[in-house]
Amino acid sequence: MARAVTPQRKILTTLVAWIIGLLIFFPIFWTILTSFKTEAQAINDPPLFLFFDWTLENYAVVQERSDYMRFLWNSVIIAGGSTLLGVLIAVPAAWSMAFVPSRRTKDILLWMLSTKMLPAVGVLYPISLLFVEFNLLDTRIGLIVVLMLINLPIIVWMLYTYFREIPGEILEAARMDGATLKEEILYVLTPMAIPGIASTVLLNIILAWNEAFWTLNLTAAQAAPLTAFIASYSSPEGLFFAKLSAASTMAIAPILILGWFSQKQLVRGLTFGAVK
Amino acid sequence: MGRIQLKSVTKSFGDVQVIPPLDLTIEDGEFTVFVGPSGCGKSTLLRLIAGLEDITTGHIEIDGKDATDLVPAKRGLAMVFQSYALYPHMSVRKNIAFPLKMAKMDKAEIDRRIEAAASVLNLTDYLDRRPGQLSGGQRQRVAIGRAIVREPAAFLFDEPLSNLDAALRVGMRLEISELHKRLATTMIYVTHDQVEAMTMADKIVVLQAGVIEQVGSPLELYQRPRNTFVAGFIGSPKMNLITGAEAQKHDATTIGIRPEHIEISQTEGVWKGKIGVSEHLGSDTFFHIQTDVSKEPLTVRAAGEMSLGYGAEVYLSPRTEHLHRFDAQGLRLG
Amino acid sequence: MATKASRSAARVMMAPAVVLLLGWMLVPLTMTLYFSFKKYLPMRGDSLENGLDWVGFENYTRFISSSAFWPSVQTTLVMVGGVLAITVILGILLAILLDQPFWGQGVVRILVIAPFFVMPTVSALVWKNMLMDPVNGIFAHLWRFFGADPVSWLSDASLSSIILIVSWQWLPFATLILLTAIQSLDSEQLEAAEMDGAPPLSRFWHIILPHLSRAITIVILIQTIFLLSIFAEIFVTTGGAFGTRTLTYLIFQRVVDSQNIGLGSAGGVYAIILANIVAIFLMRIVGKNLDA
């Protein structure tokens, strides 16, 4: 158990930890701060910390000029849609692996994981070709499917590790009680696995939200999510620091908040249950 | 109705046969206990009857109808699990209602049955709690409640008391026996505890390595164990089994005598021995006595309290009418 | 532990996931393999309809012998190696620090983890402009404050800058996993070592580090897989210029910029092989864990 430490040591640790924490957080803090400055104040020398005229003007300009809401909406639909679709496909698969394991279960799980490791750039052209062929280029549904597929292994894995913690006897009890397979999954397994499913959903929304290879390469104007919205600021608007900051803040704020809620599950999800 | 018949049932996991061909009939209304050491296949047998496992070959009939390929839900059996397997996200009321909801029973009937079950099991005050808020004994009762509301053809109990503390176990044992008397429904009860088997069963099935060693009423098993395994397994403390010269005197390879069937005396008797450890229970005293007839110390019961010092010399006389004789295969003679 | 009925149900319920992933893996992979043996330059009139010329391993040899290949491999190795070194070493130190009792642990933890949730395009742009801009960036202000000449980070120290940005993004991941691993260390072990008279540094070497070895391996493997395909950070900062063209980016340019599909596909096959070598080691560890 944790032992008492000397107050001096605790003060020192606190000081060091806070300095490092603030240092790491600084780029985000600075971005948020700058988003409330005017362009002139944003590039003021020396940099202004708190004493400037706080303004929301940048947010209005960004929204007006680049239609932030549309990109946001695309991000929401794509991240949410791919996660939802993934969970719907993954729940039955994870049920099978967790409660009816066979000799091949482990191989299938590892194989699924291996598809996650396929470098995207290696299949960029074939996928683009297929997207053109099926008229999916620059559509939300196309991205939903692709992001669902790249995250499906993680979703199956996470659900599998959560399901394995549910005692099989409870599902057998449901079977004895006359529940069909569908009822067993719907009324017994799912409610019991809600915390696990919730963290799976959360983590995958974050991963899909931040995905920046397929979203950049498979969208143009219509279906572009926030990743592409920000990439469009790379030049020359990037020189307008305050507006760039406002756009960035709007792009990361929703997920930053979600992320803080999911930090505990993050480890398990990202290491495929290898570290808990 | 609940007559269950197993006909040449076998079960294999991969290449390992855990249950060799087995025939068994459980009569309607009977309280049958499957007992045996852990790993003897008793739980597997129960799960085969429940339909939670497929039988490899053979047939299962429930009330004369072939149930071999029926899914668990269609067999009309209810099961109480070792871990109780309550649905943690549902209230007690919803737990008990679950099988009835699955059967699409109407609301009024469901409520009526829940109230009835709750009053029988003293759960009325707890209906709106979650299983997590209940004690072990209460959870056990909820699991039983969930089973009885269905009015099943038979109840299956899989070591239901093994998670309870000793005092509670005795109480629940009585409650389940009481329930059986009242409902008069077939019950199949799996346990490794021969005391539970003896006290509750109409019929005991002793299993070892998937094989039925003996089927009979508790007293039959106690009085006429078919072989040395049953002899050693049924009864507490265990029967003394003696081999060698002393057994040959009785034309047997092994003889058995229960601790309660040996007279102890400080003056005269057939066997001479030295007192080892004594266990004083108040109502009885058990002595572990080292004799010449057997390498193992013999266990001897004396009624009431009796004090004999460690190392004291005593004489033992087996009551010959209670002597069990077994042949070289361990089977009962005579 | 199951019946025939549940086993066949299990197969049916697993089917959608398995079939989809199988398709997702096999279809594009087959196409990439196919293109890699073909001359395929859509800009010069090659098209699937007219049939493509079979060129054998020419794309593979050309990809390797091109003047851009070895530098890109070197860039990739330096970038991946640099980020791994920074994140693992700082990650261990940070994890140990965060494991100590201090005031505001929860808040500091959140501050440290935050960069992981920032989308790659945002972090790249924020670093590029707000911090590393040679005129108005914070670093430039700092340098001037101390009387030094501001650095043009992304052109003069481009690769180091990208390593810095990517490390900032991945440090939280390493820290979080290592922190979780440290917290699972049985404190009695440390106390026993302390009773045996082991000073803090040797406790670190002989107890904490070996305990972390598995977590460190996992961090390295998982990060390697993600780092090998780093894209957005390069895309929005240097666009592959100034010696920041990694293997991934080179393939991207071959396919998208120069529209040489055959050559790009051959490069893709190399990338897939490379990723699989790393993946095999990761699978072994994860697979072992599955049995436990």
Name the residue with higher pLDDT: B332 or A49. B332
Total structural domains in chain C? Answer: 1
Residues A135 and A46 in one domain: no
| Residue C73 placed within a domain | yes
pLDDT band at C28 (very low <50, low <70, confident <90, very high): confident
What are the beta bridge partners of residue B242?
B255
Mean pLDDT score across all residues of chain C: 83
Query: Do A44 and A75 reside in the same domain of the chain?
Result: no
Model pLDDT, residue A273: 62
Instruction: Indicate yes or no: CB of A173 within 8 angstroms of CB of B81.
Output: yes
Residue A243 pLDDT grade (very low, low, confident, very high; cuts 50, 70, 90): confident
Give domain status of residue A1, yes or no. Answer: no
Is it the case that residue B245 has pLDDT exceeding 70? yes
Indicate whether A133 and A44 sit together in one domain.
Answer: no
Domain shared by A155 and A238, yes or no: yes
Q: Among A176-185, A248-257, A262-271, C269-278, where is mean pLDDT lowest?
A: A262-271
* Long-range pairs of A135-140 with CB within 8 A, sequence gap ≥ 24: A136/A218, A137/A218, A137/A220, A138/A218, A138/A219, A138/A220, A138/A221, A138/A222, A138/A223, A138/A224, A139/A222, A139/A223, A140/A74, A140/A77, A140/A78, A140/A81, A140/A223
* B324, containing H or E segment: strand B324-326
Q: What is the pLDDT of residue B255?
A: 93
- Evaluate whether residue A2 is within a structural domain: no
What is the C-alpha radius of gyration for chain C, rounded to an integer number of angstroms? 24
**Average pLDDT estimate for B130-151:** 91
What is the distance in angstroms between the Cα of C31 and the nearest Cα belonging to chain A? Answer: 6
We report the CATH number of the domain holding residue C241 as 1.10.3720.10
A107 and A41 in a common domain:
no
Cβ contacts of A167 on chain B, cutoff 8 Å: 83, 85
Q: Kindly state whether residue A275 falls inside one of the protein's structural domains.
A: no
pLDDT band at A269 (very low <50, low <70, confident <90, very high): low
Asked if C44 has any chain B CB less than 8 Å from its own CB, the reply is no
C232: chain A residues, CB-CB within 8 Å: 212-213, 216, 227, 231
C1 has pLDDT over 60: no
Residue with tokens 């059986």: B180
Same domain, A107 and A238: yes
Averaged pLDDT, A91-120: 86
Whether residues A115 and A244 share a domain: the answer is: yes
- Structural domain of residue C90, as residue ranges? 42-291
Q: For residue C33, is it within any domain? A: no
Mean pLDDT of B173-186: 91
What's the domain range around A186? 66-270
C30 in a structural domain:
no
ipTM above 0.85, yes or no: no
Residue A225 domain flag: yes
Could you tell me if B87 lies within 8 Å of chain A, comparing CB atoms? yes
Residues A25 and A103 in one domain: no
Name which residue leads in pLDDT, C40 or B70.
B70
**Residue A55 pLDDT level (bands cut at 50, 70, 90):** confident
Contact in structure between B214 and B225 (CB atoms under 8 Å): yes
- Interchain proximity A179–B82, CB inside 8 Å: no
Q: Report whether pLDDT(A275) > 70.
A: no
Tell me, yes or no, if C4 comes closer than 8 A to chain B by beta carbon. Answer: yes
Query: Which residue would you say has higher pLDDT here, C7 or B188?
Result: B188
Is the pLDDT at B126 greater than 70? The verdict is: yes
B131 touches chain A (CB under 8 A): no
Of A169, A180, A192, which is closest to B89 when you measure between CB atoms?
A: A192
Question: Phi and psi dihedrals of C239, rounded to 5?
Answer: 60, 30
Query: Does residue A276 lie within any of the structural domains?
Result: no
Give C73's pLDDT tier (boundaries 50, 70, 90).
confident
> Is residue A16 in some structural domain?
yes
Task: Output the pLDDT for position B199.
Answer: 92
Which residues numbered 157-196 in A keep a CB inside 8 Å of some CB on B? Answer: 167, 169-170, 172-180, 183, 187-188, 191-192, 194
Same-domain pairing of A53 and A80: no
Question: How many domains does chain A contain in total?
Answer: 2
Hey, are the CB atoms on B53 and C4 less than 8 Å from each other? no
**Are B87 and A178 within 8 A, CB to CB?**
no
In this predicted structure, the answer to whether residue B158 has a pLDDT above a threshold of 60 is yes
pLDDT score of A274: 62
- What chain B holds in terms of domains, given with CATH numbers, is 4-230 (3.40.50.300), 238-333 (2.40.50.140)
Do A156 and A211 sit in the same domain of this protein? yes
Whether residue A162 is contained in a domain is answered as yes
What's the pLDDT score for residue C2?
Answer: 66
For residue C26, being part of any structural domain is answered with no
CB within 8 Å: A234 and C21: no
Interface of C with A in 51-90 (CB under 8 A): none
Those residues with Cβ within 8 angstroms of residue B3's Cβ, 6 or more apart along the chain or in another chain: B25, B26, B27, B28, B62, B63, B64, B186
A165-192 pLDDT per residue, tens:
888 899 999 999 988 888 998 899 989 9
The percent of residues above 70 in pLDDT, for chain C, comes to 96
Other CB atoms closer than 10 Å to residue B76's CB: what's the count?
19
Read off the CATH number of the domain in which A120 is found: 1.10.3720.10
Does residue A103 belong to the interface with chain B, where contact is any CB pair within 8 Å? no
Neighbouring residues of A240: CB distance < 8 A, sequence distance ≥ 6:
A39, A42
Starting at the edge strand found earlier in the chain, the sheet holding B324-326 runs B240-243, B254-257, B324-326, B332-333
With helix as H, strand as E and coil as C, how does A127-166 read?
HHHHHHHCCCCCCHHHHHHHHHHHHHHHHHHHHHHHHCCC
List pLDDT tens digits, range B49-101. Answer: 999 988 999 999 999 899 998 888 889 899 999 988 999 999 999 999 999 99
Kindly tell me if the per-residue pLDDT of B196 is higher than 50: yes
A99 touches chain B (CB under 8 A): no
Domain co-membership, A195 together with A115? yes
| pLDDT, mean of residues C10-28 | 90
Chains near C with 3+ CB pairs less than 8 A apart are: A, B
Q: What percent of chain A has pLDDT over 70?
A: 91
Residue A1 is predicted with a pLDDT of 40
Determine the pLDDT at residue A212: 82
Q: Is the pLDDT of residue C91 over 90?
A: yes
pLDDT tens per residue, range B273-302: 999 999 998 889 999 999 988 888 999 999
Q: Is B216 on the interface with C (CB under 8 A)?
A: no
- Does B286 touch chain A if contact means CB atoms closer than 8 Å? no
Please indicate, yes or no, if residue C2 is contained in any of the structural domains: no
| C10 contact B CB<8A | no
The DSSP secondary-structure symbol of C127 reads: I
Final residue of a domain: which of A33, A57, A81? Answer: A57
Same domain, A24 and A158: no
